Amino acid sequence: MYAYFKGKIAAKEPDLVVVEVNGVGYNIRISAGTASLLPAEGEETKLYTYTSVREDAIALYGFLTKDDLDIFKLLIGVNGIGPKGGQSILSVMSPDELRLAILSGDAKMIAKAPGIGGKSAQRIILDMRDKVSLEDTFHTDIKDMRADDGATVSDSVREAVEALAALGYGQMEAARAVKAVKDAEQMTVEDILKASLKHLI
């Protein structure tokens, strides 16, 4: 219904913000992570929104980035995960951390979210594994770039993660180390590995 709201923060709570737009205050539900990043009351903000319509209520859920909103939509598409569950997960982990947990099969990490049990976490991994990718995590929007060896940039990053995993590091740990490397998209696999190992020692 609404793509986003841009206006002044009239009130702010840990799980709710009131955004005033043209004299109208909108109650928008937010995660704890979003709440911590919002500016102070009286300042302007822009929140991408999802409108939840049920028989007994209509609610707005707000996100600081479109990426947050997109991953939220994927989460609530999982059987048994409603808007509250989606917000709960995004309160304890970022979209990138969630993607890494899904790709590495780390159900324990996802289950740390309040109200999300082990079975729900496993369901999220099964349902979303084919809908997220390592490229999304590294924000490689410039997919046409090529590394020196002719491989795509995303291939170089993926190969580096796989090489670290082969050395005995966990998939999530390896992905985080590679992500910590500046300009990894422009480096060869060997250079990415050398730089990544510094973050693992």
Whole-prediction pTM value? 0.69
Residues 125-138 have pLDDT tens digits of: 999 988 987 666 65
Place of tokens 């790709």: 103
What is the token pair recorded at 130?
């084919």
Cite the DSSP H helix spans in 105-170.
Answer: 107-110, 118-128, 134-137, 153-166
> Taking residues 51-55, what's their average pLDDT?
89
Residues 22-48 have pLDDT tens digits of: 999 999 999 988 888 899 999 999 999
Output helix, strand, coil percentages for the chain, rounded to the nearest 5.
45, 20, 35
Alpha-carbon gap, residue 104 to 10, rounded angstroms: 41
Q: Residue 10 in contact with residue 18, Cβ under 8 Å? A: yes
116-123: list long-range contacts, CB under 8 Å, 24+ apart. Answer: 116/81, 116/85, 116/88, 116/89, 120/80, 120/81, 120/85, 123/78, 123/79, 123/80, 123/81
Q: How confident is the model at residue 144 (pLDDT cuts 50, 70, 90)?
A: very low
Query: SS3 for 9?
Result: strand
Residues 185-200 have pLDDT tens digits of: 778 888 888 888 887 7
Q: How confident is the model at residue 96 (pLDDT cuts 50, 70, 90)?
A: confident
Cite the DSSP H helix spans in 129-188.
Answer: 134-137, 153-166, 171-179
> Taking residues 79-86, what's their average pLDDT?
93
> Taking residues 50-72, what's their average pLDDT?
92
Per the prediction, the chain carries an average pLDDT of 84
pLDDT of residue 154: 56
- pLDDT at residue 139 tops 60: no
- pLDDT at residue 201 tops 70: no
Q: What percent of the chain has pLDDT over 90?
A: 49
